[in-house]
Amino acid sequence: MRRGCSYHGLNFNVDMDLAPWARINPCGLGVVMTQMNDLLAEPVTVQEVSERLADILTVKLGYNGHLVEGQHPLLTGR
């Protein structure tokens, strides 16, 4: 992060088909991809993760508000 911008990107695998990740070497790190719902005791939705992440980033980056649109195709998986 520099001046409130990510120059690399940010990704959370929440609940998805991870098969495509087996064919690539993400960022050249040689790591196995996983997803939140395989690691958490209770499953979460993309909407829940989006809202919580927005809350945290708003505070940590010093902003005073945000809006997470619940019907955006990237949030609903449609």
Please list the active-site residues: 27
Q: What are the CA-CA distances from residue 44 to residues 5, 30, 54 (Å)?
A: 26, 27, 15
Token pair 């927005």 is found at 54
| Residues 75, 65: Cα–Cα separation, whole Å | 19
